[in-house]
Amino acid sequence: MSRPTRDLRAFADPAALAAAGAAEFFARALRAHANGRIFCCALSGGATPSSMFRQMAERGSLARLPVGFWSSVHFFWGDERDAPPDHPDSNYRLAWEALLGRIDIPEKNIHRIRAGSGPALAAAAAYESELIQFFALHPGEFPRFDLIFLGMGDDGHVASIFPRSEALQERTRLVAAPFVAKLNSYRITLTLPVLNNAACIIFLIQGNDKAETLRRVLTEALHPDQLPAQAIQPGTGELLWLVDQAAAAALD
């Protein structure tokens, strides 16, 4: 495993970071729409992306988008908490309130991880079946998302792949449902083979509490078991780190 070339861009503050993330989304999704292709985007959760989602919704409600643009976009999730869609912890709820409920996107284009109404393992299996069907996968194939947004925890976790998690070793399943001891809860997450098969992965990282971890991830020897963000190495895809100055504070 070698370290991919790094495209890191630092922005003055969270608002500028959110605008940059939204601009990257529209640049790619509009190109796909212009070429008559659908655009499959997996959203991240946590607190960071909500500002970007709101900026996407604001641009999405203006007349500046081509007719039918949102009908060519399909939203998925990189991970989800073991909580129902109306729960404060739900990544779906975060995206619905900040973006999806504010744009004219067909319901069938929103591929929620159906967590919170049964075991996390069942939600993971259902999501995996939906991915296999939607991407028309043959056995052993992985879906290729056009864009996956990821955040990073201050422990270096990505999606819901945490340090020393068994999910780090998953090489065949598309979706896993690891028990996260530090959270005392199950999560549902795309696995590394799926994440690393994306055409483009964009990290969105903000805040001084991420600075030391970001420095370790980008400059120290590769120990993905301790720093799962180091395991994000898209084979043929782009890898873009969008950070604010606070998160970049420990980088030279």
Binding site for ligand 6PG (CB under 6 A): 44-48, 78-79, 91, 151-153, 157-160
Beta carbon of residue 25, minimum distance to ligand 6PG (angstroms, whole number):
16
Beta carbon of residue 190, minimum distance to ligand 6PG (angstroms, whole number):
10
Backbone torsions φ then ψ of 78, nearest 5 degrees: -75, -30
Beta carbon of residue 159, minimum distance to ligand 6PG (angstroms, whole number):
5
Residues 43 and 224: their CA atoms lie apart, in Å, by: 22
Measured from the CB atom, the residue of 33 and 228 that comes closer to ligand 6PG is: 228
Measured from the CB atom, the residue of 72 and 90 that comes closer to ligand 6PG is: 90
Q: Which residue is closest to ligand 6PG by CB? A: 151
Beta carbon of residue 162, minimum distance to ligand 6PG (angstroms, whole number):
9
3 state SS of 212: helix
Beta carbon of residue 109, minimum distance to ligand 6PG (angstroms, whole number):
20
Measured from the CB atom, the residue of 21 and 151 that comes closer to ligand 6PG is: 151
Measured from the CB atom, the residue of 74 and 157 that comes closer to ligand 6PG is: 157
Q: Which of 142, 145, 169 is nearest to 228 (CA)?
A: 169
Long-range own/partner contacts, residues 53-58 (CB < 8 A, 24 or more apart): 53/94, 53/95, 53/98, 53/99, 54/18, 54/98, 54/99, 55/18, 55/19, 55/21, 55/22, 56/22, 56/25, 56/26, 56/99, 56/103, 57/98, 57/99, 57/102, 57/103
Residues in Cβ contact with 29 at an 8 Å cutoff, skipping those fewer than 6 apart: 39, 41, 69, 72, 73, 146, 147
User: Are residues 109 and 71 in contact, defined by beta-carbon separation less than 8 angstroms?
Assistant: yes
Measured from the CB atom, the residue of 69 and 77 that comes closer to ligand 6PG is: 77
Residues 96 and 67: their CA atoms lie apart, in Å, by: 22
Beta carbon of residue 43, minimum distance to ligand 6PG (angstroms, whole number):
9
Measured from the CB atom, the residue of 193 and 207 that comes closer to ligand 6PG is: 207
Measured from the CB atom, the residue of 73 and 95 that comes closer to ligand 6PG is: 95
3 state SS of 154: coil
Beta carbon of residue 65, minimum distance to ligand 6PG (angstroms, whole number):
27
> 182: which 2 tokens?
């530090």
